[in-house]
Amino acid sequence: MMSFPSTPLTMLSADDPAEGITTDVEEFVPQEFEELISGAGPLIGILVGVGISALVALAATLVTSTVLKQFFRRRPTVKRRINRTRTPFFCILLFAGSALTVRYAVEDQWWDGPVYVGLLIAVIISVAWWALRVVKIVEAVILAKYIGEEQPGVEDRRGRRVQTQMDLIGRILAAIIITLAVAAVLLLNESVRGLGAGLLASAGVVSVVAGLAMQSTLANLFAGIQLAFTDSIRVGDVVVIEENFATVEEITLSTVVLKSWDGRRFIYPSAYFVSTPFENWTRVGTELLGAVELDVDWRVPMDALRGRLRRLLSTTDLWDGETSNLQVTDAVQGHVTVRVVVSARNSGELWDLRCLIREDLVNFLRAEHPYAVMTQRMLITKEEALGGRPESVPTGQLGVVPEDDDAGSPLTAATPSEATDAEGSVEEGLFTGSIDAVERNREFAGPGEDAYRERKDRQAE
């Protein structure tokens, strides 16, 4: 329980922190104010002093906020945060003036000590409140300088590194401000000061015990700071961790929040990203290569399959026009493995492109070349095997595509059209084809070109 001075304020010792604070403030108090309050009597003096304090606090708050908002008139975000400092600033001046009023108006009363200390505690809390708001103003000014007035979201393309660092620095400063405020309140109590001296005497033992007890917490804390300043990940990066494909949604001092493609959130400790390898698909860009593998019969017409792939890619915007390749990668156990390698602008479009290619090639083989579908068969005699063989299908040179663009079954559509809507044969992709899919794809588009350029410049240095 907090103890208060048993004697009037005029009898406080010089070693008391409250007395020291009052002595420092008294130097700036006009002599007329002191004489007015002390000569009016306790009740009238308190009412007059509190009223004057409220008027002065209100005037100072309005003038200060108006000047600052005029200075940042082109920064709406900063102006809004300046407005949030008015209440704590008003409370600081009001409680400080009320404490001085009690100091001058009340003498030899049993309640003046507790009231005065309570007002000082209110001043300390108001100062901490105001300081937290000032940190937000500084953060808004820096973010406005580097990324503009728009608040950065997951889909933004600029200022990712600055945003992440400012978030972490803001949390650190908030923890420091709150700690100092609590310490200042405790130092107003003489019994707590004695306890603090005892703790300082055993600081070695306490630090060892605290370090052991908070080892994992401290490890995550320093890992969070390391993530922010080493730039191994940032908000908006697309990562794969423990087979979870997700985008980085938030980085705090102790945790990293990942958002999966299906809306789930994975929360990992920051230390995980420092000690465990993981995939970052948007480290220096979003462009990716993807593969589609099909197990088919030995009789598969490779040139026709390559022609079908070329026709399909020419009709879809999912392909970025950079890389397309179809090769036989394996031929064992009665079948061959055909692998298609294509490129796309980002991971979301690559997923939908792979699904599109797989579906179209399956439909093409089933409709046009059913003998190429992988089957289990037994070869009895050479004559019977030759008798059941279809016409010879030449392999051709690698990369040579026959001119059969207008032949065969219709291509699978990547996006809905009037014809496909009427037939009902097209479903939108996971990352393309609908509003929800486009929004999902935007979340997995990476932190943006500015982030990639910055990372490449740092690597070059």
Q: Average of pLDDT values for 382-408?
A: 49
User: Distances from the Cα of 175 to the Cαs of 131, 171, 179, 228, 268, in angstroms?
Assistant: 11, 6, 6, 17, 22
Q: What local confidence, expressed as pLDDT, does residue 311 receive?
A: 92
**Mean of the per-residue pLDDT values of the chain:** 73
* pLDDT on residue 5: 43
The residues near 115 (Cβ < 8 Å, ≥ 6 apart) are: 102, 106
| Residues 78, 68: Cα–Cα separation, whole Å | 9
Least confident of 8-22, 140-154, 226-240, 424-438: 8-22
Q: Tell me: pLDDT of 10 over 60.
A: no
Q: Return the pLDDT at 393.
A: 46
Residue 6 vs residue 453, higher pLDDT: 453
Q: Which of 337, 314, 298, 343 is nearest to 401 (CA)?
A: 314
Confidence class for position 312, pLDDT limits 50, 70, 90 = very high
Rg (CA), the chain: 36
Q: pLDDT at residue 333 above 70? A: yes
Tokens at 137, concatenated: 């103003």
User: Residue 401 above 50 pLDDT?
Assistant: no
**Reported confidence tier of residue 4, pLDDT bands at 50, 70, 90:** very low
What is the structure's pLDDT at 127? 92
Cβ atoms within 10 Å, residue 427: 11
Q: Which of 127-131, 176-180, 229-233, 279-283 has the highest mean pLDDT?
A: 127-131
> Beta strands of 15-85 (E only): which ranges?
none
Is the pLDDT reported for residue 193 higher than 80? no
How far is residue 17's CA from residue 187's CA, in Å, rounded to a whole number? Answer: 7
Q: pLDDT band for position 337 (50/70/90)?
A: very high
Domain ranges of the chain: 9-151, 288-431
Predicted pLDDT of residue 253:
76
> How does residue 167 score in pLDDT terms, banded at 50, 70 and 90?
confident
pLDDT in tens, 212-263: 555 666 777 777 777 777 778 888 888 988 888 888 888 877 888 999 888 8
Residue 364 is predicted with a pLDDT of 92
Domain 288-431: give its CATH code: 3.30.70.100
Query: What percent of the chain is predicted at pLDDT more than 70?
Result: 58
pLDDT band of residue 155 (cuts 50, 70, 90) is very low
Give SS3 for 251: strand
Higher pLDDT, 104 or 281: 281
pLDDT at residue 403 above 80? no
Q: Tens digit of pLDDT for each residue in 350-387?
A: 999 999 999 999 999 998 888 888 877 665 555 555 55
pLDDT at 356: 93
pTM, 2 dp: 0.51
Side chain identity, residue 393: V
Looking at residue 420, what is its pLDDT?
Answer: 40
Average confidence (pLDDT) over 302-316? 91
Res. 119: pLDDT tops 90: no
pLDDT computed for residue 76 by the predictor: 78
User: Which has more pLDDT, 279 or 378?
Assistant: 279
Q: What is the mean pLDDT of residues 384-410?
A: 49
